[in-house]
Amino acid sequence: MNDRVLVVDDNPKNLQIIAALLSENNYTVEVALNGSSAIKWLSGERFDAILLDIMMPEMNGFETCDIIKQNPDNVNIPIIFLTARQDIESITEGFEKGGVDFITKPFNQKELLVRLSTHIELKKSREKLIDVNGWLSSEVEKKTLELKKSNDKLKLANENLKVLDVAKNDFLNSISHELRTPLNGIVGSINLLKSLTHDEYIQEIVSLLDSSVNNLEKYSYAALQISNLQLKGESQLDLKPIDLLPVVRTVLLGFCEKAKQKGLDTKFVAECTEGIVEADQEFIQNAVLALLECSLIFTKKGFIDVVVSSNEDYIIVKIVDSGSSYEGQELNHFFKSVSSQNYRFERNNAMELYLAKMIILLHKGKVEFENMEDNSGAATIFYMPRKMI
């Protein structure tokens, strides 16, 4: 069944454009010309997301959102505001009323589709987590009883279980408010179940849940960072002089295990003695890791090498792999936008790749892809302005 979206805008032309775009991308679309009509729709219908214009007569978007969220049935429906306003006061008010995101008019179609898809996926993931919590709770309680009946050697495990049970209860109380806050609690519960159950079927379920939570955490983190960087720009960065050589080397060392699991060799090559740049080290580490994981996706066998060099203006980091070459059309689309139609990428990979681009650009750098001359692989290259000392 297609995801269902309610579009609210007092401009019929805007409604027509958005409805056509969403329909072409397999959404079921309903429209409303004002806040009152939107509220009537929601009195008897269920939607996966709402696109809501702010500037409307009689009842504006903030007032409409406030009324919608007063109904408990609508609390988890993501509301994305459509607006030409970008002032902090409006953005703050929108989030306070229960909105989850802002899209600035005139909007980029690909950006709208990706943001909408992201919030619908997050909504569905929250609902799945809520459903599985009942099962988690009963399993933890059952294992608690078993531990209480065991010998003294299990007393320490029993105490740990009580601590985790408190974390689980806190998680259940906060799941309806924030997504990232309760993830630590559920990860703890998953690890506990892994250690306590030997049933293969349950182990399989727990493993699937563990994978889903990890992906959700990565996806939501990338989406949050993109929103913060788009809103605050360079002010979000803690810029300090750092040496890129040890930073990149450290990221590669942490990445080596993933590469080894695929049978890939890794190598770090320094063609300069130092690589001083002015940067936010944590953000740069995240960007390098995202680019390495991009290479990992396309490299089935062989190697992933990282070469750091310099010229008069830039410190240059080149990630070379023996994976498949990129087609010309793919090269034209990399980094242009976070699109659900990005070539050969899952959405969370595309999101992280776009975040890497944003980070590098905010550092006044640049990034590009290129194929090897003999089509024996590809390279990802990013340039960071040198910090002259």
Residue with tokens 């059952």: 142
Report, as an integer, the average pLDDT of 180-192. 65
Report, as an integer, the average pLDDT of 305-332. 81
Are 90 and 223 within one domain? no
Angle, alpha carbons 200-204-210 (nearest 5°):
140
Report, as an integer, the average pLDDT of 5-30. 95
Euclidean distance between CA atoms 382 and 361, whole angstroms: 10
Please say which residue of 232, 256, 283 terminates a domain: 232
Query: Taking Cα atoms as reference points, which of 237, 253, 235, 256 lies closest to residue 245?
Result: 253
pLDDT in tens, 357-384: 999 999 999 998 888 777 778 888 999 9
Neighbour tally for 114: CB within 10 Å: 23
CB-CB contact of 184 with 168 (8 Å):
no
Q: Within a domain: residue 114?
A: no
Q: What is the pLDDT of residue 299?
A: 87
Please say which residue of 192, 209, 232 terminates a domain: 232
Are 186 and 245 within one domain? no
Q: Within a domain: residue 8?
A: yes
Q: pTM for the full model?
A: 0.48
Q: How far is CA 316 from the centre of its chain?
A: 27
Q: Within a domain: residue 116?
A: no
Better pLDDT: 304 or 207: 304
Are 254 and 358 within one domain? yes
Are 285 and 379 within one domain? yes
Are 337 and 281 within one domain? yes
Q: What is the pLDDT of residue 347?
A: 47
Q: For residue 41, what is the domain's CATH number?
A: 3.40.50.2300
Q: Within a domain: residue 115?
A: no
The listed range with the strongest mean pLDDT (131-135, 168-172, 204-208, 307-311) is 307-311
How many domains are there within the chain?
A: 3
Q: What is the pLDDT of residue 31?
A: 96
Please say which residue of 205, 232, 259 terminates a domain: 232
Are 202 and 293 within one domain? no
Q: For residue 311, what is the domain's CATH number?
A: 3.30.565.10
Are 245 and 381 within one domain? yes
Q: Within a domain: residue 112?
A: no
Are 206 and 321 within one domain? no
Q: Within a domain: residue 124?
A: no
Residue with tokens 């924030």: 178
Percent of the chain with pLDDT over 70: 78
Q: Within a domain: residue 338?
A: yes
CB-CB contact of 369 with 328 (8 Å):
no
Q: How far is CA 233 from the centre of its chain?
A: 18
Are 259 and 221 within one domain? no
CB-CB contact of 218 with 348 (8 Å):
yes
Q: What single-letter amino acid sits at 302?
A: G
Q: Within a domain: residue 217?
A: yes
Are 247 and 365 within one domain? yes
Instruction: Tell me the residue range of the domain where 355 lies.
Output: 240-385
First-last CA distance in the chain: 60
Are 54 and 139 within one domain? no
pLDDT in tens, 99-155: 999 998 888 999 999 999 999 999 999 888 877 887 778 778 887 777 777 765 666
Are 245 and 358 within one domain? yes
